[in-house]
Chain A
Amino acid sequence: MSGLMQGRGAWIRLGLAVAVLAACWWPRAAGAQPGDLTLVALTAALALSILAPGLGQAGRAVALLAMGLALSLAGGPLAFQQGGAEAGGFWAAAIAVWLGAWLLVALVAELPWRRGPWGLIAPLIFGATILWAWESVVRALDVPRVILPAPSEIAARLASSTDTLWIDLVQTFGRGALAGFAIGCGSAFLFALVVDRYPFLKRGLLPVGNFLAALPIIGTAPIFVMWFGFDWPSKAAVVVAMVFFPMLVNTVQGLAATEAMQRDLMRTYSASWGQTLLRLRLPAAMPFIFNGLKICATLALIGAIVAEFFGSPTYGMGFRISTEVGRLSLDMVWAEIAVAAALGSAFYGVWALLERQVTFWHPSQRGR
């Protein structure tokens, strides 16, 4: 019993123990109560959580792995074998699984390895727990599908309508967002080179650009839809308007990031403007440019999706979201949102990876 209150997370462990006991003792009437497997697995997880902190490093890792396995064995049937109107035993077991997952995250977070892929373990456990809780609550409380579909239904929808999702993705991301991103960031970059040559323009344009970047530029969407029609050019135009100023401001700031000494050195080499730009100022500006690109990467997808709310052809992610919401088929909406989320992080990730390759010399990229 002494292990129960030992070390960090003692109260969570106590709560877990109480919840497991409650789940075991609650009268099991209907078939929809926690089964033997769940109860055995929960007890095992509790025992492991008491045991684990006392073990060596390798032993602790194995114990935590076993604990994760036990919790998923306990949680799986709990989530998927329910039919609504559950009693106290179910909720006690559900709380026990939740507390167990919390303990697991806390113990994993104390493991000495935190770098690289190891750092992903704790957020993944947390994400899985959220999904599990969502699934079991929606099933147990019998939440209407028009309010919140269960993750399993969303996944099924995702798998069964890949062709529609792909058409929407190509239209919104491939045509609208990418074209707008390329045109907007490209022209902002070229314009920044011009601005940089004239200090007067720089002093005037930077405050104006900063001001414009804070405005709700998304509101230009109805205007661009009127000018360029329903198809992707109007979405690309909205994206251009959204990404232009953030990119411009960042690039201009980056081009000013060199020190007078460095520029003097280039002058003693009698380097031309182009040579100075290529050899010194652009490389020095890269952290700023990539910062701008990363901001623009997230803005591009937002702009393309929201612009479709103001009018679009009969496909596209924004169109699909607004019409399927109207038809109350929320599983399709969630599937579309899942695709948008994955796409958004992937697009951002591409630029973050490129940044690491290009600006490997910058202090922010050093390993800790």
Chain B
Amino acid sequence: MSRSLPVLTVTAVLIALWYLAVIPMNATWEYDQARRAGSELPFAEMVARTMAQERPVLPAPHQVVIGLYEQTVGCDAVGRRMCRETTPLTVQGFGQRVAAAFTSNRSLIYHAGVTLSATMLGFLIGTGGGILLAIGIVYNRAMDASVMPWAIASQTIPIIALAPMIIVVLNSVGISGLVPKAIIAAYLSFFPVVVGMVKGLRSPDAMQMDQMKTWSATGGQVFARLRLPMSMPYLFASLKIGIAAALVGTIVGELPIQQGGLGVRLLSGSYYGQTIQIWAALFAAAILAAALVGIVGLIERRVLARMGMKR
């Protein structure tokens, strides 16, 4: 409770600031329109109009929320027929619309699904590979000395710049769709997992290792009973970074070849000046990111609590 009041206040202030910013950002256009029509524009009328423009420079928060609704299960998104059938909207009709939204390529739910599937596939590949490499690095001194510095250095370079090339090259050899985007998501989530997992597997101190030795534990037992459990907090910390990075990678990977996804919605919105569409796609991406990070966080809390490492 001690945190929710400040958080709510800060959020409310941010939204109020957003509403305030809408007025000057959109006012110029309204004054231009009024001058062209040769009419006076009273201030109150101008403020009301800036909140309801078709293509605002900055859409008001409620416009974004309505846009988000319209572009997920609204009439445009699910198609005319479905819309007519479900129009006074009942709970059942809403369910039908949501079901239709999963397959309609005008719906953000469909596009979020495209992005999510590539993100998850890439995240699983990247995480699995990262954990395997980390184990190799911890148990092989040659790999530690030669690969680890590159894994650390790769964190400082903008590897996302490779994304357009991977998409286009794979497309030219006939691989398209999910896989190229997943590869980008995989290599973006790979390096954080390697670095975090190596740190985690090395976190048992000398005393704990000695204890295992006094029990004459085998290498496999030391790994399964000591190193792996102790690496869990580090693993989850890097999983949260990795999944957010995988989502960004997928969105950027969707830009060069447009086959659906939130990145496509962002880019096509900016081509046609559909600002509400951009903001709705942006919020959909934010909700997706928050949900993914939140799920990883939830699993983290459950796992660490079960292991007695509650923080």
Contacts and interface: CB of A to CB of B under 8 A. Distances in A.
A216 B10 contact: no
Interface of A is mostly: helix
Nearest to B166: A325
Nearest to A330: B165
A313 interface: no
B248 A122 contact: no
Given A147-B172, A330-B169, A215 B290 contact: yes
Contacts of A306: 160, 252
A336 interface: yes
B157 interface: yes
A187 interface: no
Contacts, number: 168
Given A204-B9, A216-B248, A310-B267, A223 B160 contact: no
Interface stretch (A22-30, A74-82, A262-270, A314-322): A314-322
Bin the interface of chain A by size: 35 or more
A359 B169 CA distance: 45
A233 interface: no
Contacts of B9: 200, 204
Nearest to B268: A222
B219 to A, nearest CB: 15
A218 B267 contact: no
Interface stretch (B27-35, B92-100, B220-228, B280-288): B280-288
B59 to A, nearest CB: 10
Nearest to A127: B150
Interface of B: 2-3, 5-11, 14, 57, 141-142, 144-150, 153, 155-162, 164-165, 168-169, 172-173, 240, 244, 247-248, 251-252, 255-256, 262, 266-267, 269-270, 273, 275, 278-279, 281-282, 285-286, 289-290, 293
4 pairs of A and B residues whose beta carbons are closest in the complex? A204-B6, A222-B270, A126-B146, A204-B10
Interface of A: 9, 102, 105-106, 108-110, 114, 119-120, 122-123, 125-127, 146-148, 200-205, 207-208, 211, 214-216, 218-223, 225-227, 297-298, 301-302, 305-306, 309-311, 317-318, 321-322, 325-326, 328, 330, 333-334, 336-337, 340-341, 344-345, 347-349
